[in-house]
Amino acid sequence: MIEAVIFDFDGLIRDTETFEFYSFQELFRDHGVELPFELYCGRIGGHMNAFDPYSYLQECIGMPINREDLRARRKQK
């Protein structure tokens, strides 16, 4: 008999958001760009489309990026 169900809404039980920010920060630094935490905060605890780090990186470097390659690299970090 199930007596309880626990839902982890990403970051409630295990802090994944901090390490996700660190991985993005490292990815940005690999491209010579800083990722301001204040800007990234729009993504935390809200809608994932509130701030798109990949679009921001593309804007900063002024050239197209391969999102899938960058996602794979970031997840490895």
CA distances from 34 to 3, 9, 26, 72 (A): 47, 28, 9, 20
The catalytically annotated residue of 10, 15, 30, 69 is: 10
Is 10 catalytic? The answer is yes
| Structure-block tokens of residue 41 | 């905060």
The SS3 call for residue 37 is helix
The catalytically annotated residue of 8, 15, 30, 69 is: 8
Q: What are phi and psi of 69, to 5 degrees?
A: -65, -45
Is 69 catalytic? The answer is no
Active site residues: 8, 10
